[in-house]
């Protein structure tokens, strides 16, 4: 009984050949269109260069830094002071983005039309690992404005935040200077990214067209899809106007 069931199930399995992707065939497909892929790579790089040059506003960054003091009564710093300093550093990172402090910066520098949300998005505060040094970085299309905001924010924070936290005033490590080189965008990075995206998109289109094409072109295609080798092939008749004329002349000669 089991033997008969196995025989009945076998034809169904044989009649459904698996669709396999031939990696070698795909490689030769891409290699055959190498110039098209290189053209798309160049086009993507050129498009990225144009977008970066004419549609992206360059930004400048200015950085100032603070050292968070936690020693009590000007004594030598001990382990407890270091732990307290680390906690204060995290508090400073949050309080330096507080609305009252940002509003004072806007009023002091006469930043008309700028909201506290706009100013907060321009500010990046980082803390190097295992240190109590805060780096305040400001990004702006105007290099002078970036330096002015960074210095004013640090100046107000040294007075405003110790009053709230009831701690010692942090020490100024360095003031921000006016940057001379833009921080972003990077022409080289965008150029490479645009070229890679153009080439990948071109390869995706080529592979998609190849994999979705179910037209049988050669006898090998039928053998691969149906698992049956064709016995013979019939050549295609000449289509179009040229074939019609040739058949008309042959019919005339026969008459």
The residue extents of the domains of the chain are 19-56+185-234, 60-174
Determine the pLDDT at residue 113: 85
pLDDT confidence of residue 143: 94
Among candidate residues 43, 7, 19, 9, the one with its CA nearest the CA of residue 226: 19
- List, as one string, the DSSP characters of the chain: -HHHHHHHHHHHHHTS------HHHHHHHHHHTHHHHHHHHHHHHHHHHHHHHHTS--BEEEEEEEE----GGG----HHHHHHHHHHHHHHHHHTT-HHHHHHHHHHHT-TT--HHHHHHHEEEEE-TT--EEEEEEEESSHHHHHHHHHHHHHHHHHHHHHHHT-PPPEEEE-----SS--B--HHHHHHHHHHHHHHHHHHHHHHHHHH-----SHHHHHHHHS---S---PPP--HHHHHHHHHHHHHHH-
Judge contact between 130 and 122, C-beta under 8 A: no
In this prediction the pTM is 0.65
Residues in the chain where the model's pLDDT stays below 70: 1-21, 70-87, 214, 216-255
pLDDT at 224: 66
Condensed to tens digits (0 to 9), the pLDDT of residues 218-233 reads 666 666 666 666 666 6
What confidence score (pLDDT) does residue 23 get?
Answer: 82
Structure tokens at 209: 């067209």
The tens digit of pLDDT for each residue in 88-116 reads 777 888 888 899 999 999 999 998 889 99
Closest CA to 172 of 44, 47, 67: 67
What pLDDT score was predicted for residue 220? Answer: 67
pLDDT at position 223 is 67
Domain 60-174: which topology?
Alpha-Beta Plaits (3.30.70)
Task: Determine the pLDDT at residue 244.
Answer: 56
CA distance 25 to 31: 10
């Amino acid at each position: 009984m089991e033997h008969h069931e196995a025989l009945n199930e076998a034809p169904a399995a044989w009649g459904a050949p698996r669709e396999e992707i031939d990696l070698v065939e795909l490689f030769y497909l891409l290699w055959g269109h190498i110039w098209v892929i290189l053209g798309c790579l160049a086009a993507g790089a050129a498009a990225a260069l144009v977008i970066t040059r004419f549609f992206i506003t360059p930004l400048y960054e200015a950085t100032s830094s603070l050292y968070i003091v936690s020693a009590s009564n000007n004594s030598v710093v001990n382990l407890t002071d270091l732990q307290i300093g680390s906690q204060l550093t995290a508090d400073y990172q949050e309080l330096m983005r507080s609305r009252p402090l940002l509003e004072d910066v806007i009023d002091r520098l006469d930043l008309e039309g700028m909201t506290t949300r706009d100013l907060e998005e321009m500010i990046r505060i980082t803390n190097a690992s295992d240190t109590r040094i805060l780096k305040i970085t400001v990004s702006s299309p105007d290099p002078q404005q970036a330096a002015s905001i960074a210095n004013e924010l640090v100046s107000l924070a040294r007075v405003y935040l110790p009053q709230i936290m009831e701690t010692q005033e942090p020490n100024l490590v360095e003031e921000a200077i006016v940057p001379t080189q833009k921080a972003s965008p990077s022409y080289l990075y965008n150029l490479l990214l645009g070229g890679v995206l153009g080439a990948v998109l071109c390869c995706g289109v080529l592979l998609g067209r190849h994999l979705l094409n179910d037209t049988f072109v050669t006898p090998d295609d039928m053998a691969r899809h149906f698992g049956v080798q064709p016995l013979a092939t019939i050549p295609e008749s000449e289509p179009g106007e040229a074939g019609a004329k040739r058949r008309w002349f042959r019919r005339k000669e026969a008459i």
